[in-house]
Amino acid sequence: MSVFNLSNFLSILRIPLAFVLIIDLTFYRALAIGLAMMTDGLDGYLARRFKMTSQVGAFLDPLTDKFFVFFAIGVFIFEGNLQIWQAISMLSRDIAIAIFGTYLTLKGNLQNFPFQSIWSGKVTTFIQFVVLLALTFHYSIPVYTFYSFIILGVLALFELYYIEKKLNYNPKN
């Protein structure tokens, strides 16, 4: 299986799309965010449908998602359209993943843990893209939206811990 396939190409497209957000024009930003959302859904569908899944793709997809979202958050913070606490809340899932990765490393189980998507991660990514669109159109975002990111971050931590316990593997001694 080649790592150069349509699914991985769609993932990689999110990197240049992020740079479009530097242009302070609503149309271009909305287009970039919309295309990023479409490529995020389409790359996974194509990978599964046409058996183009790979370890590279499993790593590349979430990496480019995070790059796009982190870059966009940085742009909106720089412009004063997003407060630091709101940005941190939007990244709660990523903080939870980092905490869980540290936990696995300390247990010696990081190499054994399968990279896979989790439902709380998918929901978080979708809401992040919606918030980015709302910021693009200068809509006011209710505070509970940012609290929901924190709740989803906590749920991601529990979901990952559950997966680890379900696998029921022991650290290598």
DSSP 8-state code for residue 115: P
Tens digit of pLDDT for each residue in 1-29?
A: 567 889 899 999 999 999 999 999 999 99
Q: What is the pTM of this model?
A: 0.89
Average pLDDT over residues 110-129: 89
Q: Which fold has domain 6-167?
A: Four Helix Bundle (Hemerythrin (Met), subunit A) (1.20.120)
Mention every residue, 6+ apart, whose C-beta is less than 8 A from residue 90: 69, 73, 128, 131, 146, 149
Q: Please, which pLDDT band fits residue 102 given cuts at 50, 70 and 90?
A: very high
Contacts of residue 7, defined as CB under 8 A and 6 or more positions apart, other chains included, come to 43, 44, 46, 47, 50, 52, 53, 57
pLDDT band, residue 173 (cuts 50/70/90): very low
* Lowest pLDDT segment from 103-112, 128-137, 148-157: 103-112
d(CA 76, CA 89): 14
Residue 169 has pLDDT above 60, yes or no: no
Secondary structure of 32-70 as H, E, C letters: HHHHHHHHHHHHHHHHHHCCCCCHHHHHHHHHHHHHHHH
**Cα gap 21→74, rounded to integer Å:** 10
Which pLDDT value is given to residue 51?
84
* Beta carbons of 128 and 69 less than 8 angstroms apart: yes
Direct distance between the N- and C-terminal alpha carbons of the chain, in angstroms, rounded to an integer: 34
Tell me the C-alpha distance between 38 and 141, whole Å.
22
